[in-house]
Amino acid sequence: MRSSFISYKSLKMQAYHVLKEAIISGTLTDHQMLTERTAMELFGISRTPFREAVQILEAEGWVYSLPYKGIYVSPVNLKDFEEVFELRLILETAIVRKVASRLDETGFAVLERMVESMRTDSAAQNDYDFTSLDFAFHRTLNNMADNRRLLAMTEQIYDVMRRIGMRVLRRPIARREEIIREHRKILDGLRNGTAEAAVIEHLERVKQLMKHE
């Protein structure tokens, strides 16, 4: 519930996060027109916060504008994914290399619980929640590296990857089982020195699936 004490800036950022999550989840689809009326009807976002939020979203590439026509949801294409994949491959192999040398049993237990919380049954856990848990696992690993600049760099690309992950889960493959299995291989790799190879295998599988989007 909105409060009169909520600042204008916070309303703008709330609108930004709501609209971005709607794009990530697929509630707003590729090339869909995004209007003030749509934002109000679907999300209760009023005119001024909507306009300010759209400016941020366009600057970040989540939406695009056509003169005299309107604002539309930007699609994710293979080029976008390849750029993000390249960055993620560099960053996450460096992260697991660092984490492997310092991870204790408490840390392993945290990561284990996160994997155990992921469900293969979409009726028990929808795609959006499953994908959020997937990236929560990676974010937790990143935090364990204790490098705030490295963490900031990964955060810039994870929202795009969550959007891609949602698309992959909708394909007629047992991707949930694969992700859980790949996460367990990363955990095993942190113990036995094969974590970098496990991360590469995990990311290469996503790349393979996206090429057939």
pLDDT at res. 99 = 94
pLDDT at res. 160 = 87
pLDDT at res. 201 = 94
pLDDT at res. 212 = 62
pLDDT at res. 174 = 85
Residue 122 and residue 166 in contact, taking contact as beta carbons nearer than 8 Å? no
**CA diameter of the chain:** 59
Q: What is the distance between the alpha carbons of residues 130 and 149, in angstroms, rounded to a whole number?
A: 27
pLDDT at res. 172 = 58
pLDDT at res. 208 = 82
Q: What is the distance between the alpha carbons of residues 124 and 62, in angstroms, rounded to a whole number?
A: 30
Per-run averaged pLDDT (10 residues), the chain, 213 residues: 47 94 94 95 94 95 95 88 88 92 93 95 90 92 89 84 81 83 95 94 84 62
